[in-house]
Structure 1
Amino acid sequence: MTQTGDPLENTVAERANKTIKEEFTTDQQMSFNSLKNAKETMSKIIEFYNDKKPHRSLNWHTPNEAHQMNGLLQRQWKTYYKKQKKHDPIINNNV
């Protein structure tokens, strides 16, 4: 959880959580019979995500392939979130 509770403060972690929920779970909740089993399953998911799953935002490379590359990858995504200016009703209320 972020300090203010705003999911936009920690977008990378929020996106990873969404991917895990959407791609690695079914309609039923994942259930584990032990903490050890949960850690093993998450390790396998993370390994698959980093080593075997190509990402559109990485020009269809896996994260580990992109990490090993030299140079910059062209940005494949847009930023939609922008801080809005505070509305000052006194200044903007010219009646």
Structure 2
Amino acid sequence: MAERINGIIKDEYLYPLKCCKNLADVKMKLPRIIELYNNQRPHMSIGMNTPNDIHSGIGYKKRLWKTYTEIQNQKRSQGQK
């Protein structure tokens, strides 16, 4: 999970915007990026809601992903490895 979030922050915010020249710039801008990620960026895995919407009970809460165990159980029931 953390790797995914780190990748999104780098790929969608830091690299395209070329906003940070050094670690001090990253530390200064990271709180704003996290705020955007949690409050404005819709997430496909939670029905195009924001994490804050889901956390506060506003958004639609149907889980749109399967866990590793669920995938393995589904494969076993279909006779796959």
Alignment TM-score, normalising by the size of structure 1? 0.57
Of 3, 12, 32, the residue aligned with 1:44 is: 32
**Distance in 1 between the 2:62 and 2:68 partners?**
18
**Distance in 2 between the 1:38 and 1:29 partners?**
8
Gaps of 5+ in 2: 73-81
Which residue identity is paired with 2:12? E
Which residue identity is paired with 2:8? T
Q: Tell which has more relative contact order, 1 or 2 (C-alpha 8 A, sep 6+).
A: 2
Do the aligned residues in 1 keep the contact of 2:43 with 2:50 (CA within 8 Å)?
yes
What is the number of equivalent residue pairs in this alignment? 69
User: Considering only aligned residues, what root-mean-square deviation do their CA atoms show, in Å?
Assistant: 3.0
Structure (1 or 2) with the greater helix fraction: 2
